[in-house]
Amino acid sequence: MSYEEKFIFEDRTRWQACGEGMKRQIMGYGKDLMLVKIDFEKGAVGTMHTHPHTQSSMVVSGSFEVTIGGETRTLHGGDGYFVAPDVEHGVLCTEKGTLIDTFTPCREDFL
């Protein structure tokens, strides 16, 4: 897979381990944008962290307790959340499912 690859197929894309009970696939990226799919087992934790990238995310399935800048909400399939640069955030998966995380610029540290 490469920058600005047009078509990205799930069954030909590598899964990366990214923590206990979590794995991710990079489903598209260019210098200024990246889309990442993350599968969570129930109880998996995306620990609190920050990054300089802007992030917009959506819950595809399952349920997640999402904390952003000290506020926590429970989100379900179809809900979204937005993280401004350098704002601390994290998730707890309360029902097995999938998140889409998108970033600008690209998370070069994921490549």
Which residue ranges make up the site for its own copies (CB under 8 A)? 4-10, 27-30, 32-35, 37, 54-58, 60, 66, 68-69, 71, 73, 75-84, 100, 102-104
Least Å distance, CB 84 to its own copies, is 5
Query: Shortest Cβ distance from residue 111 to its own copies (Å)?
Result: 14
Min CB(38)–its own copies separation in Å: 12
Q: What does the block give as tokens for 92?
A: 């707890």
Q: Write the Ramachandran bin of 70: left for phi over 0, alpha for psi from -120 to 50, otherwise beta.
A: left
